[in-house]
Structure 1
Amino acid sequence: MNGELPKEETVEDATFVRPFIITGGRAEPLQADLRLETLVVAVGVPDETLTFERRHIVAVCERPTTVAEVASRVGVPLGVAKVLVSDLVVAGQLTCRQPAELPLQTLERIRDHVRAL
């Protein structure tokens, strides 16, 4: 053994970004009222100065999307998605609204996305 890690572990470690790095060390969103079913939608095109994850979220939210769906589609934990979505709302890149009552189809999609996390 020459002390090197197996190739598969090296590649995986190189592509994994710790969630606290993505959020700048924050665990709490700037907006405390974001829920799994909160609908978010992009206000315009993603600002080029945004980080990769934030640009990806704005692109995903081209159509109204729940916070849970954002987490699943971007591939980040739900808490990270809430922090990033909140940042984007404050920055004016996204707008959000709380649906009064969710259709069953939407609830089922949220459930499926949360299970996938």
Structure 2
Amino acid sequence: MDVQPMEDDATFVRPFIITGGRAEPLQADLRLETLVVAVGVPDETLTFERRHIVAVCAEPTTLAEVASRVGVPLGVAKVLVSDLVVAGRLDCRQPAELPLQMLERIRDHVRAL
């Protein structure tokens, strides 16, 4: 059986590399609708994905939207966001109730993953 490599295979990075081999976030309470906002500006001390997450979170953004915008699976986004919250780079809030428009956006972004 001849297997053809994917065209972008050279740029693909395995998720466990990005998370340092971890599959579980340091914070277990992160949900799809958790709002995440940057505490400061991204700097060169952060890895590419973490720097991108801080930049995306300049405005409050849901965890699902962070995963979509950064282009990583939701589980990877949870680990990275959790790391950034623990490091004091991000702040997260659990919204009491989400408006229907926000739920529809989350659904659409999750489907896009």
Q: Does 1:36 align with 2:36?
A: no
Tell me, in whole angstroms, the C-alpha distance in 1 between the residues paired with 2:100 and 2:84.
28
- Output the CA distance in 1 between the equivalents of 2:43 and 2:29: 24
Shift of 1:47: 3.0
Alignment partner of 2:101 out of 93, 102, 105: 105
Task: Give the deviation of 1:10 after TM superposition.
Answer: 6.9
- Render the CA deviation track for 1:10-58: whole Å, top value 9, x for unaligned: 7522100000000000000000000000000000101321100000000
Quote the Cα distance in structure 1 between the aligned partners of 2:101 and 2:38.
Answer: 22
Where does residue 23 of structure 1 map in the other structure? 19
Residues matched between the structures, number: 110
Give the secondary structure class of the aligned counterpart of 1:9: coil
Q: How far off is 1:94 after superposition? A: 0.3
- Which whole-Å CA distance do the structure 2 matches of 1:72 and 1:64 have between them? 15
> Is the partner of 1:11 in helix, strand or coil?
coil
CA distance in 1, matches of 2:35, 2:6: 38
The structure-2 alpha-carbon separation of the partners of 1:104 and 1:10, relative to structure 1 and needing over 3 Å to count, comes to: closer
Identity of aligned residues (%): 90
| Equivalent in the alignment of 1:75 | 71
- 5+ unaligned residues in a row in structure 1: which ranges? 1-7
TM-score normalized with structure 2 length: 0.94
Distance 1:102 1:66 in 2: 11
SS at match of 2:25: coil
- In the TM superposition, residue 9 of structure 1 has moved relative to its aligned partner by 3.3
Moved over 3 A (4+): 8-11
- 1:93: which partner in 2? 89
- For 1:112 and 1:89, locate their aligned partners in 2 and report how far apart those are by CA, in whole Å: 25
Structure 2 CA distance for aligned equivalents of residues 10 and 111 of structure 1 = 28
| Structure of higher CA gyration radius | 1
